[in-house]
Amino acid sequence: MIIVMKQGAGKEELKKVTQRIVELGYHPHVIHGETRNVIGAVGDERGKTVLQSLETLPGVESVVPILKPYKLASSEVSRVRTVVDVGRGVKVGGKKLVVMAGPCAVENEEQIVMTARAVKEAGATVLRGGAFKPRTSPYSFQGLEEDGLKLLDTAREETGLAIVTEVVNPKDAELVGRYADILQVGARNVQNFALLKVLGQLGKPVLLKRGMSTTIQEFLMSAEYILSEGNRQVILCERGIRTFETATRNTLDISAVPVLKEQTHLPVIVDPSHATGHASLVPSMSYAAVAAGCDGLIVEVHPDPEKAASDGPQSLRPDDFMRMMTKLKEFAKVAEREL
């Protein structure tokens, strides 16, 4: 950590800061500059936000962290890329791209089984579908809950696809874990630390979505919560961030893919459906995500989008999804991946 002193701060103030650095267990290292002094505090600062409080001492202008605050998620700590083994032959983070597809919400058996068959035929290996739905409005459809999980199970039996579905309440984690192959943490829960801890203890693969205003560093800190409880099976998902632009539902931060690939060993997938909010934009954003180097996609597909209980406008019809997958295979090949 670097402590920047104010211009004109005196010797006494400098001394108090260096003393406090020593008290906190770090080694102070003063650099006398032309217009002000700075102090390097040498020691492992990760997770030690207490150093930040030096900012309140007289003569201190600011405290600048140098190290990234995460450890287990860091590509510096583990240089081997993590491959998450989901079961049913699906591995996320290897040479093969993983496409997860299905409706926003599980509505009934016909809908989910029909969609499962269609997305499998197109090349998806994981079925998505919400049973517990975090909806902005209390008056919107909240999901079929355990009945929805059972329908997902039926679709899995019919098709052999693995299942990813969301969990919103820590108390439901075990229940959802009995049905799901991957437990999804939604964007709104990315800093629901109570939920992250429970999922860290559960030990099943977790799909962690980036929040609408989560920095990449905070995103990796949320992953760190799961990892630090002993669960290394974490898949990161970029799904668009909130910006001033309203032409799309969110702004897909596609540069997050290579940035995450530099900073962490965890696999990274992309959700072009929630990012854009419009079905017509999903294929081009899927191609872009694969070209940028992601490990997979999670895409909304619904047999009848205009009657969907939620997120109709961003759902692809099965035939559009099929066409997109055909083109995607070509892009994957150039990206030296398989699909």
Per CB under 8 A, which of residues 282..321 are in contact with its own copies? 284-285, 287-293, 305-310, 312-313, 315
85, 150, 232, 248: which one contacts its own copies (CB under 8 A)? 248
- Letters for 60-99 (x = contact with its own copies by CB under 8 A, - = none) are ---xx-xx-xx-----x-----------------------
Query: What is the torsion angle, in degrees rounded to the nearest 10, for the CA atoms of residue 229, residue 230, residue 234 and residue 240?
Result: 20
Query: Is residue 203 within the footprint of its own copies (CB under 8 A)?
Result: no
- Letters for 228-247 (x = contact with its own copies by CB under 8 A, - = none) are xx-----------xxxxxxx
Residues in binding contact with its own copies, number by CB under 8 A: 112
CA 212 from centroid of its chain's CA atoms? 11
What is each CA distance from 126 to 82, 186, 229, in whole angstroms?
A: 19, 17, 26
Q: Between residues 235 and 252, which has the closer beta carbon with respect to its own copies?
A: 252
Could you say which residues in the range 263-282 bind its own copies, by CB under 8 A? 275-276, 278-281
Could you say which residues in the range 6-45 bind its own copies, by CB under 8 A? 7-8, 20, 29, 31-36, 38, 40, 42-44
Q: What is the C-alpha separation between 332 and 316, in angstroms, rounded?
A: 20
Q: What is the C-alpha separation between 199 and 159, in angstroms, rounded?
A: 27
Q: What is the DSSP letter of 62?
A: E
Q: Between residues 52 and 154, which has the closer beta carbon with respect to its own copies?
A: 52
Q: Is 227 left (phi over 0), alpha (psi -120 to 50) or beta?
A: alpha
Could you say which residues in the range 110-169 bind its own copies, by CB under 8 A? 134-140, 168-169
Spatial CA neighbour of 279 closest among 334, 323, 337, 242: 323
